[in-house]
Amino acid sequence: MFYFYILQSLKTPNYFYKGSTGNLEKRTVQHNNGDVPSTRPHRPFKLVYYEAYLSEKTARQRESSVKKSGSVSTPLLRRIKEGLIKE
């Protein structure tokens, strides 16, 4: 399995990182350990969303489409943020 995922920074709650990986658990640990330079200043993170794919290519295409297109990213992040609100 391959995954498209979104992490939310617990330090900077409005910072969401979008990525793809073949090992979701390991990659999340790498982000939280500071092994990923682009996310190091925003540690720690929690996994708030993921999608599973059978191919790496499809997961990377999804990551790319979400990162490049506001019309894709904005509603997805809105839905995620609404789901994070405690009632």
Question: Residue 84: is its pLDDT beyond 90?
Answer: no
**pLDDT confidence band for 85 (50 / 70 / 90):** confident
Helical (H) or strand (E) element with 74: helix 70-84
2-84, CATH topology level: GIY-YIG endonuclease (3.40.1440)
Enter the pTM of the model: 0.93
DSSP string for residues in 19-52? EEES-HHHHHHHHHHT-STTTGGG--EEEEEEEE
pLDDT tens digits for range 1-56: 999 999 999 999 999 999 999 999 999 999 999 999 999 999 999 999 999 999 99
Q: Where do the domains of the chain lie?
A: 2-84
Question: Residue 87: is its pLDDT beyond 90?
Answer: no
For residue 70, count other CB atoms closer than 10 A to its CB: 9
